[in-house]
Structure formats: structure tokens, C-alpha cells
Chain A
């Protein structure tokens, strides 16, 4: 289980996270929703070690991970797929995927190829395009690639930042479905950040609503989805 308590992250004098507490239960999908600038991305970036919090704690499976480097946090089983289909355009699809498993190639040699094959099974379109440069892929394919890159590190917790950003509804549905299946069949824990609240709450078990760096609601996803007043006040629809 991931437990975040009273987390504060600042950029200079701007407070992006203002005492955020939440948790992600094992083998469940927890979604963090909120408007632009609510601090959703900063939350994930602080968990994965890209940003350093000025206060608060982050505990993963009972161990504090604050102050550790991203390279070490991924080795502890937390994989982060950052916003904007983060792949390396100048590298091929194959290389992008291989990149995610480089650190496992000695200790878990026999499993590296298995993990890569599983990623291709999940997203067969990547297999067809494995020799192509990532920059030539469509937005949806790039998102699949970014997720695959994270999956081959064999995470126990997947941090997904706005996978729906800029994608057609059909593609979004396909990607969210894949993540959902992954969670239900392999027991992967997912922390999903979304602006697209409806889609996210549709698959999630639990929902957290962030506004201006603070948690304003923390409830089962279905309850949050049904609360029209919260939606109107914080998400504007």
C-alpha cells in the first residue's frame, strides 16, 4: 500500500501541494481527479522522486521513500508514466521498451524477455511497429508505448498521469480498459491521475478530488461520481 501524509511540495514560492494525504490500496485503482493546476501531476512527480517535498511523508509497503532518487524508486516497484505520452521519439519502439528493463537485465535475466513479450501482447500494435521510431507513432500508440516501458520494469504500483490527454475517446477507452484488465488480473496497484473525471471514476475503486493543492474529497469512486454538487463546484460540468 502507498500512503501519502501531509505532503507539501513547493516551486519557489508557489505551493503546488498543500498538505495532501491519501492512500492507494493494493490491487485497486485509485484515481486523483481535479482541474488544471490542482497539483495532480506534482503529486505523482513527488511520489516518483522527480520533485522533492518540503514536508510530509510517503510510505510504500511500510518503507519511507522520501528523498530517494527516481532510479531507486522504480527499483522498489513504483513505475511512473509522466504526462504527455513520455517516450523518447528518437529511439525505436523496441528501444523504448528495452530501456524500461535495462536495470533488470542482470538480476532477472530470464524474466526480461517475458515482460517485454507480455507488453506486446497487451498492445499488439506496438509489436507491428517495433522497428519504427517512437516519434512516428500516433498519440495513442505513444501512450501505449509509455505504459509498456513502465510495465517491463515489473511494477507493483503504476503511476499514470493523464493517459487520456489529447487522445480520441475510442483510444482512451482502449487504454483505460487495458489498465483495468491489468489491475484485475495481475493485482497491479494503480494511481491514476485524470482531468477526464468521468472516464477515470468509471474504472476506479476509489476517487480523490484535488483542488488547489488540497484534498477536498476522498471517497469510493461510485459515490464521488454520483455527487453532482462536487462535480459542479470543482470540475465545472
Chain B
């Protein structure tokens, strides 16, 4: 019973983080039609920035806010400097077919991932370093018994919940949110309605950059920080997005929690070594049983 509760709690907390990673992928997919494999490289980069600030004497919270802002900035820069020119119909005309052209930005995102990891290695040296948590990582004790739930878990779930509520309100209630949804759903009609789709695209990169940076900040305290730390998180987040539906933000969150539970239960009841295998099995199953994802729409493009 105690193992079960422990697995459940840990699954919720991890799932919340993977929900963020998946949400970041979905926002860029909807806003720009690109699966961004560089996403956790961007998150790694901004976590290093936070780490540098904190080791040089800034408070955790200064590092936290700066990491989110730099995540948003890095996302916007990548879109403006790399993705926008690569998506330009006229400039990529040489490539011929539509599917070739669609693949180019995705390949570019892989290149960006490699470049960011190399750059981080050069700047911060490739060895691992720790990253602080803003709250205790030991379990609460109730009547002398250690509980499987930590103050950090509470912080994780709380901050993810706030992020999800804020993004939902932004997309549903604000003019800019409506402009972004319209662009994601039908770019041509959005343009004809006067929406500056270049800007909404960049904004989706910024939001995705900030939310995945938050995921980076929440993931690294339980591992260590190195240029490759977050690679697995990208795979898990991508699987979560596929499970939930690559074009559905709610599906991404659901997928994140499903993956969190799978990983946690495999860790507690089997062995942590099997986690990677379990993720691949889930990915395969999802692609075979329901390729559009649990909440994905019918005519979504497949990758």
C-alpha cells in the first residue's frame, strides 16, 4: 500500500512536469506546424543561466524568473532567425515538394539542439553540476512516519497548475489568445482577418520556451545539470504529446500525467532500468492503437 501511494504521488509530480514539456511541443506544433526537437535544449540552456546566477550569489527566485524570461527570449530568437526564413515559401521553392519543405524546419530544430548542447558544453564545461530546489526534497513526516510526498512535489504541482490555468485563460479569454488559436487552426483565414501571423507564431515559440524552461527548472533538482540532462525529458514529452494528441493542449497535459504514472509505477514495482523501454512501448502502442492521440482531432497531420 505504501509503495502504491509513493508511486502515485511521484507519478503525479513527474507527470505534471511532463505535461509542461508536452504542452510546449503542442503549442509550437499548433502555432508553427513544427515538432521542435530543440525544445529541451532551450530549457537546458536557460536552466544553466539560472544556475550561473544562483552560484554567483543571486537568490533562487531571481534565477527562476530570469530562466523563464530567457527561455521565452531564446524561443523567439530561434523563430525569427531560423524558423521564419526556413518556412518562407518563396525561399524554399527549390526544395520542390510540400513534404520536403515541411521537414526542413524539423531537421533544423535537431541541428539547433546539437548546437545548444555544444555551446553549453563550451560555456559551462561538460561536467555535471547540481541544481537547487526551492523547497525540501525530503518527505513530510506524519506521526513519525516518512510520507512519500515532499515539499518540492507540492511546489512542482502548484507551479504547473498555475501555468496551466494561466495559459488556458490566455488562450480562451484574451484577444491575443484568440489570434493565436485562429492562426493555429486556419492560417489563411487568420491572415485575411488581419492577424499578423508572423507575430503569433513567434509568440507561440516564446510561450513554449518559457513553459519548457519551467520544466527544466523543475526536473534538474532531482537529477543533475549537464548539456544532455533533459534529452530523456524530450522523448517523454514527445511521447506524452503523441499519446494525448499532438494538436490538443488538453491532450498534452493528459498524456503527461499518463507518462508520469507509467514511469513512476515501472520505477517502483519493476526497476528504473526499464523506464526507457516502457516509454518506447507506450509510444508504439499509442501510434498503433490511436495515432491521432486521445484528444487529437481527426484530420491532424501525422509526423
A residues near B, CB below 8 A?
48, 50, 69-71, 74-75, 79-80, 82, 86-88, 90-91, 95, 98-100, 102-105, 149-150, 153
Contacts and interface: CB of A to CB of B under 8 A. Distances in A.
Interface string B176-215: 0011011001101111111111000000000000000000
B182 A91 contact: yes
Contacts of A102: 175, 178-179, 193-195
A99 B195 contact: yes
Interface residues of B, number: 18
7 contacts: A71-B191, A71-B197, A74-B192, A74-B193, A86-B186, A88-B182, A95-B181
A153 B194 contact: yes
Contact of A82 (B178, B182, B192, B297): B192
B191 A86 contact: no
Given A99-B179, A105-B175, A48 B192 contact: yes
B89 to A, nearest CB: 9
A144 to B, nearest CB: 15
Contacts of B185: 88, 90-91
Given A71-B194, A103-B194, A153-B194, A98 B189 contact: no
A109 B192 CA distance: 20
Contact of B193 (A69, A90, A105, A153): A153
A87 B186 CA distance: 9
Q: Give me the 3 closest cross-chain CB pairs, A-B, nearest first.
A: A103-B194, A70-B191, A74-B194
Given A102-B175, A105-B175, A70 B182 contact: no
Given A86-B192, A95-B181, 5 more contacts: A50-B191, A71-B194, A74-B193, A90-B181, A95-B178
Contacts of B197: 71
A100 B182 CA distance: 10
A69 B89 CA distance: 13
Contacts of B186: 86, 88
A82 B175 contact: no
A100 B192 CA distance: 8
Contacts of A87: 189
Contacts of B193: 74, 99-100, 102-103, 149, 153
Nearest to B189: A86
Is chain B's interface secondary structure helix, strand, loop, or mixed overall?
A: helix
Nearest to B197: A71
A233 B298 CA distance: 44
Contacts of A99: 178-179, 182, 189-190, 193, 195
Given A91-B181, A95-B178, A98-B178, A70 B192 contact: yes
A142 to B, nearest CB: 12
Contacts of A91: 178, 181-182, 185
Contacts of A90: 181, 185, 297
A79 B194 CA distance: 9
Nearest to A70: B191
Contacts of B194: 71, 74-75, 100, 102-104, 153
Contacts of A75: 194
Q: Which of B179, B181, B182, B193 has the most CB of A within 10 A?
A: B193
Contact of B188 (A86, A95, A105, A149): A86
Contacts of B191: 50, 69-71
A103 B195 contact: yes
A100 B194 CA distance: 7
Interface in B265-302: 297
B95 to A, nearest CB: 14
A71 B179 contact: no
Contacts of B297: 90
Contacts of B175: 98, 102, 105
**Which of A75, A99, A104: most chain B Cβ within 10 A?**
A99
Nearest to B179: A102
Contacts of B178: 91, 95, 98-99, 102
Contacts of A74: 192-194
Nearest to A106: B175
A91 B177 CA distance: 12
Nearest to A90: B185
Nearest to B89: A52
Contacts of A88: 182, 185-186, 189
Nearest to B90: A52
A80 B192 contact: yes
Contacts of A104: 194
A139 B293 CA distance: 29
A80 B190 CA distance: 11
Nearest to A81: B192
A200 B195 CA distance: 30
A71 B188 contact: no
A54 to B, nearest CB: 12
